Amino acid sequence: MSAESKRSSIERRATELRDLIRHHNDRYYAEDTPEISDAEYDALVKELARIEAEHPELVTLDSPTATVGGGSFTTFAPVIHAVPMTSLDNAMDSDELHAWGERVAKGLGGAECSYVCELKIDGLAISIRYEKGVLVQAATRGDGKVGEDVTANVATIATLPKTLKGTAKHPVPEVLEVRGEVYMSIEAFQRLRADKESENARRAAEGRGPLSVPVNPRNAGAGSLRQKDPRITADRDLSLWCYQLGEVRGGPDFSHHHDTLEFLKSLGFPVNPEIRAVGTLTDVYAFCDTWRERRHELPYDIDGVVVKVDDLRQRETLGFTSRAPRWAIAFKFPPEERNTVLKDIQVSIGRTGRATPFAVLQPVFVGGSTVSMATLHNRDQVALKDVRPGDTVVVRKAGDVIPEVVGPVLSLRPKKSEPWEFPETCPCPLKSTLVKPDDQADTRCVEPSCPFQRDQRIIHFASRGGMDIEGLGERTVFALSDAGCVSDVGDLYFVTIDQLLQLEGFADISARNLIDSIASSRTRPLPKLLTALGIKHLGPAASESLATEFATLDVIASASNEKLASVEGVGDVIAQSVSSWFMKAENKAIIEKLRAAGVDFGRVERSSEPQTLAGKAVVVTGTLANYSRDGAEAAIKARGGKSPGSVSAKTFAVVVGSEPGASKVTKAEQLGVPMLDEKGFEHMLATGTLP
């Protein structure tokens, strides 16, 4: 390719990228219906920025790299920002964050610099104006210079003060503009999705097409804020974090950013409690690493950390580019949502016969790994989401959570697309009929001899949540089953080295290791054994309660429904399921195989902690400073207590952290259940009493 042809190709690509970015800006900001994920959008902008850096002659005045992302639209009246609302440059990894730190140091001539780290809330930027302490206007960012007037909608946010009351130290300024992020909590988003899906179920029953269901809290929050009817916005339960000052007249002088945040808090504005002032870039790295790991402990979505120079005079020295401040950067976490093509929908059969549809995807890197399959939950969910083979879909993988298809991108649906039909027969060789009772969401294969159910029961038994048999994965279970070595979980303990050596992939060492692993599982605690048996409705918490109450498997097997149901956290449904399971002849045979193999039927682990909370139920909601959610629940259980997921009249106390679930707090207030902060929680752990 000649130099002229190459330059022409690069110029065409730059033009194509600008058009693509503008198109996706409109879909994201104006219509709240994005066609690509944030990560894919960022990649387009980064590619354009690289081309423009290497070929400055191709830069245009209206390039998206020189303007703020959002446009100015016509749904609401325009608002001119007194102080422009700029965008932020992104750092995608620690190297880019380090490079930003070096640019800051160079811009300050090597002067010492401190920083403020803020969680990057995945919401919609807003500017809220007060005059003489009264809220007079709220506007979206728009193109940074002109936004949209959404005052009536923002005024519905419960945590936003409508009038300001100053103090002797901090009187109310004549004019005060506060910048922040409007967002929808995960709990509010789940309620909205449930409402939309219920509405779609009604529409389907009436023969009408489904309405669009929001795919994530950010889009749901943005769409809610831009409703023409403020009453709809009020029903959506939006929230707000404030993080910056805009125009201020008659206010105090500040030298540091963290002082402005304290000022905002003193006036009653919600300021995120996780914001930290730190002294070095090393501290910034540590903050970013911490929240990359802990992001799922929060009751709202974040997609990174915003890092700002703390000293306001140093900010003036550093200044701005055409679109962003040089004194701040957004450190982006790895994306947890990506768009890809749904190639096919298939059905898997679980240990209880449940038929679960799953998506076969064009492989996509999301949530730290490459995903090629994702759950679709059940028949009703496929219909409600209306996902179809050939669709471009939003795939989400958060941490260790199983990847799921959130929904389709309807604007990219192929024209001849047809709704997917759930199969009528099991995919196993027996081809038995799949059944869906009218009162249940799940479709099931009810053929007891279904080989898929058999294999899944064995896989569940060996899993980490069950007997934790290392080395006994799906492939090995399938191979043992196909070879006729195992027909149920009891057969596992009688598998021989010679049998394993007949299977592909096994040598003497690997075979002996698996036999040893199976043997060591004989001494797993009773709660693990109960969970491993795969009894319908019986999960780890109820298994632990039964083991603690009855001490041995034989006593549980012979207990009456009434005795089983009386155990805290069990109830009638689980009791009936447990009782029915132990009465079946095939399950009695499995128990006898396990007994003959020497599996321990009565080992219950005891905590060394004092049992200060024995028999007490403690609910945890919100984020605690010194405990993860799992850590808090483990601390309760280690002291003999229980940590259910909901508040009831039997609840001893509710531990309330930052951003608690509104429904749990409301229920505790209605029932008069005591609510504790973290200090009170630690007192209760130590003494078993309320402070």
Measured CA to CA, the distance from residue 550 to residue 544 in angstroms comes to 10
To the nearest whole number, what is the mean pLDDT of the chain? 88
Lowest mean pLDDT, pick from 247-261, 378-392, 486-500, 578-592: 378-392
The percentage of the chain sitting over the pLDDT mark of 70, rounded to a whole number, equals 95
Predicted pLDDT at 231: 86
Query: Token digits for 44?
Result: 């387009």
Q: How far apart are the first and last CA of the chain?
A: 78
- With tokens 């609401």, the residue in question is 76
Helix-strand-coil percent breakdown of the chain, rounded to 5?
Answer: 40, 20, 40
With pLDDT > 90 as the criterion, what percentage of the chain qualifies?
A: 50
**pLDDT computed for residue 28 by the predictor:** 65
283: which 2 tokens? 């501290």
> What is the identity of the amino acid at 56?
P
| Dihedral in degrees, nearest 10, Cα atoms 242, 243, 248, 254 | 130
Confidence (pLDDT) at 170: 75
Lowest mean pLDDT among 26-30, 613-617, 626-630: 26-30
What domains, with CATH codes, occur in the chain?
Answer: 3-66 (1.10.287.610), 78-332 (3.30.470.30), 337-414 (2.40.50.140), 451-596 (1.10.150.20), 617-687 (3.40.50.10190)
The answer to whether 87 and 69 have CB atoms below 8 angstroms apart is yes
72: confidence class by pLDDT, cuts 50, 70, 90:
very low
Give the pLDDT score at 644. Answer: 78
3-state secondary structure 481-494: HHCCCCCCHHHHHH
Res 249 pLDDT > 80:
yes
pLDDT bin (cut points 50, 70, 90) of residue 29 is: low
Nearest CA-CA partner of 335 in 312, 290, 369, 378: 369
Give the range among 73-77, 168-172, 393-397, 671-675 with minimum mean pLDDT.
73-77
Q: Comparing C-alpha atoms, which of 34, 124, 1 is closest to residue 339?
A: 34
Continuous H helices in 88-247: 94-107, 151-154, 186-205, 217-225, 230-235
Winning range, highest mean pLDDT, from 53-67, 500-514, 612-626 = 500-514
Of 456, 475, 476, 581, give the one whose Cα is nearest residue 518: 476
Q: Is 0.85 surpassed by the pTM of this model? A: no
pLDDT at position 666, please?
81
pLDDT in tens, 235-244: 889 999 999 9
| pLDDT exceeds 60 at position 71 | no
H-helix or E-strand spanning residue 461 = helix 451-462
In this predicted model, what pLDDT tens digit does every residue of 456-489 receive, in sequence order? 999 999 998 899 999 999 999 999 998 999 999 9
pLDDT at 276: 94
The residues near 364 (Cβ < 8 Å, ≥ 6 apart) are 338, 339, 340, 370, 371, 372, 395
- Write down the pLDDT at residue 43: 81
Q: How far, in Å, CA of 288 to CA of 273, rounded?
A: 16
- For 282-335, the pLDDT digits (tens) are 999 999 999 988 888 889 999 899 999 999 999 999 999 877 899 999 998 877
Query: What is the structure's pLDDT at 658?
Result: 79
The rounded radius of gyration (Å) of the Cα atoms in the chain is 29
With left for phi above 0 and alpha for psi between -120 and 50, is residue 109 left, alpha or beta?
left
Half-sphere exposure of residue 251: CA atoms within 13 angstroms, side-chain side: 25
pLDDT at residue 587, as a whole number: 94
Is residue 583 over pLDDT 60?
Answer: yes
Q: What is the DSSP code string of 630-681?
A: HHHHHHHHHTT-B--SS--TTEEEEEE-BS--HHHHHHHHHHT--EE-HHHH
How much is the average pLDDT of 662-688? 88
Q: Read off the tokens for 228.
A: 């023409």
Enumerate residues 6+ apart whose C-beta is below 8 A from 96.
90
pLDDT of residue 272: 95
Q: Which sequence positions are flagged as catalytic?
A: 120
219: pLDDT strictly greater than 60: yes
pLDDT score recorded for residue 67: 59
Pick from 3-12, 43-52, 371-380, 612-621: least confident: 3-12
SS3 178: strand
